[in-house]
Amino acid sequence: SYKEVYPQAISIYKRLASRTKRRPYLRSIYFNKEKIFLDYFWIHIREKNPKDRTRRLNFYTCALDLIQNSKLNPSSKTNPKKSSEIFHRFFGKTKGNENFCVQIVENIKNKNKYFISVFPYDIK
């Protein structure tokens, strides 16, 4: 349930946020230890309905682990609505064999990267 998942996810986020005075971030192996900012995820998740929030927050810890440790190439494409952004999608699998996708947005102008979303997906 949302009441179980949200406190766990927010405590992990707060722990990461307490390590810096500015914006919380993780460093990604794939992006040569560049920072991936985490705050946009919480803005994005608030726009979702409670059922979808719960579904996405279940993958939060897996998503952070994938961002930090993935060496595999993501699926990348430019944002059709905004040509100054690139979407990077990393695909992973939980210990329970559930597939999920992590989406990172890269701003082409300043090279900043933002963790924007995590969601389950079906392999077809």
26-77 pLDDT tens trace: 999 999 999 999 999 999 999 999 999 999 999 999 999 999 999 999 999 9
Whether residue 114 has pLDDT greater than 80: yes
Q: Where are the alpha helices (DSSP H) in the chain?
A: 2-17, 39-46, 50-57, 60-69
